[in-house]
Structure 1
Amino acid sequence: MGGMTGEALLARRDPAVLLAATLVVPLVLLRVREPGPVVLLWVAAMVAARALARVPWRRLALGQLPFVAFGTSLVAVNAVTRGSDPLAQVVAVLGPLEITDVGLRTGVALAARTLVVGVCALAFLQVVDPGRLLGSLHQVARVPIRFTVALTAAHRVLEDLPAEWATVRRAHALRAPVADPGRVVEAPVPAQAPRLPASPTALRRAAFALLATGIRRSERMAVALETRALGALGRDERTVWRPARADGRDAVVVVVVVAVCAAVAHAAR
C-alpha cells in the first residue's frame, strides 16, 4: 500500500472504518443515471483526497489513468447499446451503430462513478498502513485472527516478490549456457547494468521459479504459525501491539460519506 502520512487528517481515523467507507461508495452509487451530479462528486472527491489524505496531484492524475481507460469503455459500450430505451434519441450514426443520448448519459455517469471509486481507493492507499489495517480488522471489524495474520504474512510475501524476481533472473542469467565456450567475454562496464535474457522461455522459467519459491515460503509460514498455536487463545486473551478502537469521529466519516453519496445517487437517478 501507499505511503502513509501522519499529517493527513484521514490518517488519524481507524483503517477498518476507512475501508468500510471506501467500499460503501460504489454500492451507494450503483444505480446512477445522470452524469452531472456524479461528475461534481468526482471533483469534490479529488479536492478531498488532496486536502484530507494529502495525495499529491501527480499521483492523483497518474492513478486515474487505469480508471479513465475503463470509464472510456463504459461510455463506448453504453452509447451504442441503449437504443431499445423508448426515450432514447439517436444523436449520431457510425456505420451500423446508433449512438443515443440516453446511452451517452448513462455511460458518462458510470465512467464518472468509476473515477470516484478510483479517487477513494487512492486516498485510502495513501493514508492506511497495511499493519494497522489488519490489526484494526481483527479488533474493530472482529475478523478472526487466522485470517488477519494470514493476510499479513501474504502481504509480506508480496512485498518481497520484486526483489526475489530480480534474484531469480540474475541467477538464471549466470547459469545460462554460453553460445561459444571458446570466446573470451569482456567484463561489463561498471556503469552499465548487465542485460538479462528477455526471451519468453527465460521469463517463463523465472516465473515458475518465483511461483515455486513463493509456495515453499508460504508453507513454511503456515507451519510456523500453527507451531505457535495461532488462534488457540480467545479474542480477549490475546495481547496486541497496536490497540485499535473506533470512536465517534470515525462514525462521522462514515455518515458524511454515505450521506453525500446518497444525495448524489438520488439526484443522478
Structure 2
Amino acid sequence: MTVLEPIAGERVIHRINPVAKLAASAVIAVALVLSIDWVSASVALALEFALFPWAGLSARQFVRRTWPVWIAAALGGLTILLYGQPSGDTYLRFLLVHVTDGSIELSIATVLRMLAIGLPAIVLFATIDPTELADGLAQIVRLPARFVVGALAGLRLVGLFIGDWRALELARRARGVADHGRIRRFWGQAFALLVLSIRRGSKLATAMEARGFGSAPRTWARESRLHGRDAVLIVLGLLVASAAVSVSVATGQWNFIAGR
C-alpha cells in the first residue's frame, strides 16, 4: 500500500460521501484563512484532535499520512520567525534575519494554522475512494463528467507510474547503466517515463472514445447521494469553524487578513 491509496474499512467515516468530507474540510479551511492569529487555530486544532479517533486511522496510519504537513508547518513557521514582519522587542538581528515579538507570535500562528487546515484535510482524504469522489463530484456538485472521469482515470494511473519507475530502474540496472551518475540517470529515466505515460494516455483516450465516452448523456453505475451521516460531518465542520472564530473574536485576537 502506498501513501496515496485510500484506507478501506467498515466504520461510519468510510461510508460518508466524499463530497461531505470535502465540504467539512473546506469550511474549516475558509474560517482559518480569514484570520492570522494563534487562538482560532489552536481552538480548531484542539477540537480536531478530539475528533480524529473517529476518523478511521490508526496512530501509525495517522503519522504515515500526515508527516508532510508537520514538516511543512515547521518550515513555514521557521521562515516567518526569521524573516517575518518585525514588531516589538528584538531578540536576534543578523543580515536579513530579524527575530522580534511580532515575528514569534506570527510564526506560532502560522504553524498552528497550517496544522489546523492540513491535518483534517489529509485525514478525511485518506478514507476517500477516488471512484466515489468522482461519482459525487459529477452527480452532486454537477461538475462536467468529461473532466471528472478524465481526472479519475489519470489518478488511477499514479500507481502504474510508480510501478513503471521501479521497472525502469530494474531494467537499467540489469543492463549495467544504473551503477553511477545518479543525477544524470534520474533525468533520463524521467524522460523515459514521460514517453511511456504519453503512450499509455493515448491508448486510454482511444479506448474511452471507442466506448462512446462523451458522445451521449452519461449514466452512472453507482448513485451518489447525501445522507444524514453526511450532514452530521458537515455540521461538525461548521461547529469547529464557528467555535474557532467565536473564541478568537471574544478574546480580541481576531486578526482579519483584509485589514492587514
| TMscore range, shorter length | 0.7 to 0.9
CA contact (8 A) 1:34 1:106 kept: yes
Q: 1:254 aligns with which of 234, 237, 241?
A: 234
CA contact (8 A) 2:38 2:112 kept: yes
Residue 32 of structure 1 corresponds to 35
For 1:63 and 1:4, the matched residues in 2 are separated by 10
For 1:142 and 1:198, the matched residues in 2 are separated by 51
For 1:144 and 1:256, the matched residues in 2 are separated by 29
Matches within 5 A, 1:1-269: 1-49=4-52, 51-79=53-81, 80-83=83-86, 88-96=87-95, 97-176=97-176, 196-199=178-181, 200-235=183-218, 238=219, 240-266=220-246, 267=248, 268-269=253-254
Structure 1 letter corresponding to 2:124: F
| CA gap 1:26/1:123 in 2 versus in 1, 3 angstroms | same
The number of residue pairs the alignment matches comes to 243
1:53-92 per-residue CA deviation (whole Å, 9 max, x = no partner) reads 1212123234443223322333334334322xxxx42151
- TM-score, normalization by structure 1: 0.80
For 1:55 and 1:198, the matched residues in 2 are separated by 41
- TM-score, normalization by structure 2: 0.82
Structure 1 unmatched runs, 5+: 178-195
CA contact (8 A) 1:53 1:126 kept: no
- Superposed CA RMSD in Å reads 2.3
Cα distance, 1:2 vs structure 2: 3.7
CA contact (8 A) 1:28 1:258 kept: no
SS in 1 for 2:33: coil
CA contact (8 A) 1:71 1:115 kept: yes
Structure whose residues are more often helix by fraction: 2
Cα distance, 1:218 vs structure 2: 0.5
SS in 2 for 1:232: coil
Structure 2 letter corresponding to 1:252: V
SS in 2 for 1:93: strand
CA contact (8 A) 2:44 2:243 kept: no
SS in 2 for 1:33: coil
CA contact (8 A) 1:33 1:109 kept: yes
CA contact (8 A) 1:90 1:98 kept: no
| CA gap 1:47/1:61 in 2 versus in 1, 3 angstroms | farther
Cα distance, 1:230 vs structure 2: 1.1
For 2:231 and 2:90, the matched residues in 1 are separated by 46
Q: Percent identity?
A: 24
Say which is worse superposed, 130-139 or 242-251, in terms of deviation.
Answer: 242-251
Cα distance, 1:139 vs structure 2: 1.4
Say which is worse superposed, 224-233 or 205-214, in terms of deviation.
Answer: 224-233
Larger-gyration structure (1/2): 1
Residue 180 of structure 1 corresponds to none
